[in-house]
Amino acid sequence: MSVRVALLAVLVLCGTACHAPPGKGAASPGGLVVAAGATRLQLDSGHSEVLVLVYGAGSLARLGHNHAIAIADLQGELWIAQDLRRSVFSLQFPVAAMRLDDRALRAQQGSGFQEVLTDEDIDGTRTHMLDTALLDALHYPTIALRSEGIEPAGSAWVAHTAVQVRAYTGHIDVPVKLEQAAGQVVLSGGSRSATRSSA
């Protein structure tokens, strides 16, 4: 059955005194190539959230449920360069920290999420999702995202992003807005995409 995925994120990052050393750039602990003079911002996981909405599609959609997945225990960093196009970021979270089909969260999504799922439904879906046939949380405990380029798009930006799940890497373009306040940067955005079909 094919599925459609919507990803919505609000990330709050706090400034630190860490700067890349002078030169052509340096590698951060996350493997990002950082522009000289860029400022490092650390993700504030307590005030950040990522929501993934999974919709059934195709001829078998009526046999499944739409799912709302909240991401917890986020870790990440953003290096802001003077030329924003040279800024880079990374984000990762434990697969086991995903919260599946919280009832209050489902109710907030409106149409397509009105069906009330039982505890058995939720537990069964979560077990299947973490099992070796899908995410294989035992052998691949982390999902990671990193930037492949950032470019302006009107009054906003598009972040070309690599997403690593298990041993596979996918690529999505995420429109984002960047707002700066005292000591903080807030990134918000979302993307809708279709995944490959599976049996």
DSSP of 42-87: EE-GGG-EEEEEEEE-STTGGGS--EEEEE-S-EEEEEE-SSGGG-
Least-confidence region, from 1-15, 129-143, 151-165: 1-15
- Give the model confidence (pLDDT) of 143-166 as tens digits: 999 988 899 888 888 988 888 999
What is the average per-residue pLDDT within 76-96? Answer: 91
If we measure between CA atoms, which residue out of 10, 156, 126 comes closest to residue 76?
10
Would you say residue 197 lies in a domain? no
* Burial of 138 from C-beta contacts in 10 A (0-12 / 13-18 / 19+): exposed
Would you say residue 116 lies in a domain? yes
What residues make up the domain containing 184?
3-191
Average pLDDT, the chain: 81
How far is it, in rounded angstroms, from Cα 192 to Cα 23? Answer: 38
CATH of the domain at 60: 2.40.128
Would you say residue 90 lies in a domain? yes
| Higher per-residue confidence, 27 vs 99 | 99
End-to-end CA distance of the chain: 6
The neighbour count for residue 8, using CB atoms within 10 Å, is 15
Give the pLDDT of residue 180: 79
Its pTM stands at: 0.79
Could you give the C-alpha distances from 140 to 43, 133, 154, in angstroms and in order?
22, 12, 38
Would you say residue 158 lies in a domain? yes
Please count the structural domains in the chain: 1
How far is it, in rounded angstroms, from Cα 187 to Cα 183? Answer: 14
The residue type of 177 is K
- Reading phi first (left if > 0) and then psi (alpha if -120 to 50, else beta), residue 23 is in left
Would you say residue 199 lies in a domain? no
pLDDT class of 18 with cuts at 50, 70, 90: low
Would you say residue 198 lies in a domain? no
Give the pLDDT of residue 28: 57
